[in-house]
Each structure stands twice: as C-alpha cells, then as structure tokens.
Homo-oligomer: A and B are copies of this chain.
Amino acid sequence: MRGTGRTTLEEVAAHAGVSTMTASRALSQPRLVSDATRAKVELAVAELGYVPNRAARALASAQSRVIVALVPSLSNVVFTAVLDGIQDALAAGDYQLLIGNTRYSDAEEEKLLRTYLQSNPDGILLSSLSHSPEVARMLAASRVPAVSMMDLADEADVDRMSVGFSQLDAGGALTRHLLGRGYRRIAFIGAQLDERTLRRADGYRQAMRAAGLADPRLEIMTPEPSTIALGAELMRQALETLPDCDAVFCCNDDLAHGAIYYCQRHAVRVPQDVAIAGFNDLPASAWMVPSLTTVDTPRYRIGYEAATLLLDVVGGRVPRATRVDLGFTLRERESA
C-alpha cells in the first residue's frame, strides 16, 4: 500500500471513460481535446474532487513551475513590497513562489538556496548583487536563471540580470539636496551595513568630497540591525560627538524615525537645530511631525519587473532589457 490515497488522474480518466493521457491533456492543454471529451473529464474531476499531484507532474515534465525569491528580511516593508510585486507578476502563470528569508546572513542564504535547489526551480530572484563564494558556486552550477533586485549590476557585466536603481546615485542625490539647502556638517548614520547601505554611503561620501566637505568623523556606522530604537541611540551619539553637525542622513527611514522621536523628546528642533533625512519613504514618513525628507524607492515595481524579466527568460522569450533602471524619487518634506 503506497501512495497518498488521493484520487489520481487514472481514476478520473476511468470515470470519464477516456485514457489517462486524454484526461491529462484535457486539463493542461485543453485545446488539443474535443469539447465533448473535455466536458466529460471536467465533470469527472468535479465529481471525484480530483486534485492534481504537483510532484508527479514536476517529475514527469522535468519542470517545477517554482520560482524562488530570497530576501534579507520579512519585517522590512521594503522587501514585503518587493514580494507583493513578484506575486502579482507571477499570478498569471501557474507558478509557485518559494520565499526564503536570509535574515541578512550568508550562511542562511546558503542553506536556503541549497534546500530550494532541490525543488529544481525554474528561476531565482535575489536581493543583492554579491554573494558568498559558495552561493555563487551553487547558482552557477545550477544553471537556473537568476535576476538580482534592488541595485543594478555593472553595465559591463552583460550576463547579469538586474532590476532596481542606483543606490550610489540615490545616496548622492539626497546628499546634494542637503548641501543645496545650505547644510555643511552632514553626518551619515548607517546600520546593518548591507550592500545597499554601503553603496548609499559611497554616494554620500562622493558628494561630500565633491563639495570639499568630506570628513570621516561624520560617519557613524554600526553593523547592528536597523531599528527605531537604534536610530534614537545613534542620533544621541551624533548630537553628543558632533556638536557642529547641522544635518543627519540616516541610511533608512527606520533610523530616521528613531532620530526624529529622539529630537522630539529632547526638545531638539527639526530642522531648525538639526535637519534629518531618511531613505525608502516608509508609510509613516509622510505623516509624522515633522514629515520626513527621504528617497522614495520603487520596490513594488522592482519585484514586478524582476519577476516579469525572469519569466521572459524562463519562457524562452527575449526580454526588452536585462538591466532595468527604475530610478528613485526625492521627497522633499519638512525635516530637511
């Protein structure tokens, strides 16, 4: 006695008085089957409550119809928006999405990829450009098409597919905005120190250097995860150690929110005493008091376009582009 005990396609076929193969066709390639036959099969399916067995289909067809998405966090709205976009793009085809949460850890990413490759995915969506050597090896060995999300690959790197925007440019643009408002001693508060944060910091640094205002002491960096609490703490440090600091560029909105709350509690006026800017434009940023100057990032579209590009490649279609720059938008508000 093996098997799951569920109704099989063979039983459906018998019930409908056709061969298994015809029943199979009626369900997956209905055009190849006559109307009458299809109706018989559909009736049998309904009467028997047939549920196709995906494992059997995957094994026989050598096609899993599985897409893997690896994101560094689920508690960050940025990545859940990316996932929303992916799911919408996948909704049409009957693809199954396997979501892996790497928790910003190379070891976790490796473990997840190893597991998910067992499902023989048709494609993979990644949240960063660089990976541990072992992950890079597994990706290459698997020969599964992969698209990197969030940042853009080097233009020279033609084999690489990527959808996102230039974190470097965005960091530069926000810094130049602050410089344009007349701020001179602009601190950079960075946490987590993932790839994207470091690129934003690069953008900040370049802009400060171009203005002749670069100063390494202005950079307050920590590998701790970004939280509101940490934002408050780093703001305290900034005010304490940099008395002449007139603006703070927080590497993301979570930190910026914490920084603003800290200032509110300690009667530091924003932006009169110190300006504060963030990154990502989270939902609260437009509503808080003062409203937060930040960079709006197209995360939903990143997910949507990345999945669309991947499906094109998987389906053997020629994509319009393999490097898709979706840009970013500066949101100039009250805080800076």
Contact = CB atoms under 8 A, between A and B. Distances in A.
Interface string A130-152: 00000000000110000000000
Contact of A258 (B58, B62, B114, B287): B287
Nearest to A288: B261
Interface stretch (A33-41, A73-81, A176-184): A73-81
Interface residues of A, number: 52
B55 A117 contact: no
B62 A3 contact: yes
Contacts of A2: 62
Given A75-B81, A289-B264, A55 B58 contact: yes
A94 B115 contact: yes
Nearest to A4: B62
A213 interface: no
A229 interface: yes
Contacts of A289: 261, 264-265
A55 B257 contact: no
Nearest to A51: B117
Contacts of A206: none
